[in-house]
Amino acid sequence: DQDAARIRGIKLIRCPEAVAPPVAELTIWLMISLARRLNKLAYSTRARLPSKSETIGHELLGKNLGVVGVGAVGSRVAKIAHGFGMKLLLNDIRPIDPRDYGGSEVVDLETLLKAADFITLHIPLTEETRSMLDERRLSIMKRTAYLINTSRPEIVDSKALYIALKEGWIAGAAFEVTEEWLRENPEFLELDNFICTPHIGSQTEESLRRVSISVAEKIIKEFEAPKPTSKTSQRSPRR
């Protein structure tokens, strides 16, 4: 869609700030769900009350959170997580001031993967980021680590991820998925350490309202902005 618009000279308008709050909240909820094993316990409780040993989970307090992509969503996740008492490891292609996030640490991707207890992805899907987390990178994560991806599932190599979850390379993962991805990877539904949601990150009444208003305001601003004068029109007419 972006290429088609660019070829036709159509300007694209984005509103990431309008959808950032619900996506960030979903990310935090998925982190807690993994840490407290809510996905598995919610189903098992319907059949029987689980034993105390089955209900033991983990806290977010004091854990290392690796945020890959500190844009509109990633920065909001970082600030919320800081309120939970998490230690932040940030990674982005742009310069980041760690003081904006409670004295966090800016690190390279490899360091983040090795040190984080939770890793959350907030980057666009491009040719460079497709399967960015491959078998090698998944293998260097902690065996107790959790991976959260509310961006595009294709950023992580699906075959490598399945092996990592099945063989215990990592403790669990939670992904926002598309119907197409799930149709191509049905085996993930068999895993009790994998949570998937149907691409609902921005689907709240408040977010949809903000997006509508933001798009309208930005379109109006575009029409009201002074149009650049071409070099041809600046020339004096020939005599």
CA neighbor of 21 nearest in space, from 185, 175, 202? 202
Catalytic status, residue 122: no
Catalytic status, residue 199: yes
- Rounded to an integer, what distance in angstroms lies between the CA atom of residue 121 and that of residue 147? 8
Helices (H), the chain: 2-7, 16-35, 38-47, 72-83, 109-115, 135-139, 158-166, 179-184, 205-224, 231-234
Catalytic status, residue 180: yes
Annotated active-site residue in 122, 137, 152, 210: 152
Cα-trace Rg, the chain: 21
Annotated active-site residue in 180, 187, 206, 222: 180
CA distances from 218 to 36, 110, 202 (A): 41, 38, 19
3-state DSSP assignment of residue 173: strand
Annotated active-site residue in 36, 58, 82, 199: 199
40: Cβ contacts below 8 Å, ≥ 6 apart = 192, 193
- Rounded to an integer, what distance in angstroms lies between the CA atom of residue 71 and that of residue 74? 5
Report the b/e string of 209-223 with b at 16+ CB within 10 A. ebeeebeeeeeeeee
State the DSSP string of 49-113.
Answer: PPPGGGG----STT-EEEEE--SHHHHHHHHHHHHTTPEEEEE-SS---GGGGTS-EE--HHHHH
Question: Annotated active-site positions, please?
Answer: 152, 180, 199
